[in-house]
Structure 1
Amino acid sequence: MSFHAERFWSAFQGVGMLDEASYQPPVGDLVVFSGGFKRPDQVVLDGMVHTTDYSIEYLASAVELKRGFMITVAGGQYKVRQTPMANGGGEFVTALLEKVAP
């Protein structure tokens, strides 16, 4: 039996484990996709500063994000910080994000 990432992703989405995200290419229609949006808080500088490391994991077949692209997720604007990285067998991709001030 082969692995079908879309089946798992659909199940995750069905139980509310994914967020809706969108990317507007310079030419063409808005691309809407689902992703696992992460925003863990971290303490740095010996407890003096709190920071958040934003990222989103998504299906490689859903969208092709690149460094510098702007996306909208969870009501905020984010910029892709570096070239997204493939996970596992390449069905999933993780993009590190930087929050953009409104």
Structure 2
Amino acid sequence: MVFDASVFWPAFKDAGMLDVAVYQPLNGVAVSFDVGFSRPDQVVLDGMVHTTDYSIEYQAADIELQRGYVLRIDGVDYKVRQTPAAKGDGTFYVASLEEV
């Protein structure tokens, strides 16, 4: 059985499991796409500091993100920290973000 993202991704959206990200290039039309937005808290420096590790998972067919791109998710701007990495067969990518 082959995994078909075209079936599952819309179902995830309908279930409220995805957020909308918007990338506005300097010249051109804004691009909106669905993402799985993750923001887990981490404790670092021997419990002295709490930090959040933002990331998104998205379909490769929706957009080609690059390091430095700024996205808006839920009214907050985030910058892509490093070149996004493909997951599995490359249908999905994961991008690490930092709040701007």
TM-score by length of 2: 0.95
C-alpha RMSD over aligned residues? 1.0
* Alpha-carbon distance, 1:27 to partner: 2.1
Any residues of structure 2 matched to 1:44-59 within 5 Å, and which? 44-59=44-59
More displaced 10-residue stretch of structure 1: 23-32 or 9-18: 23-32
Secondary structure of 1:82's counterpart equals coil
Matched, 1:92 2:99: no
1:72 to 2:72 alignment: yes
Compute the displacement of 1:33 (Å). 0.4
- Residue number in structure 1 paired with 2:6: 6
Superposition TM-score, scaled by structure 1 size: 0.94
In 2, Cα distance between equivalents of 1:73 and 1:6 = 22
Which 4+ stretches in 1 moved above 4 angstroms? none
Consecutive unaligned residues of structure 2, counting only runs of 5 or more, are none
Find the aligned partners of 2:60 and 2:37 in 1 and give their Cα distance.
15
Shift of 1:74: 1.9
Gapped runs of 5+ residues in structure 1? none
SS of the residue 2:9 aligns to: helix
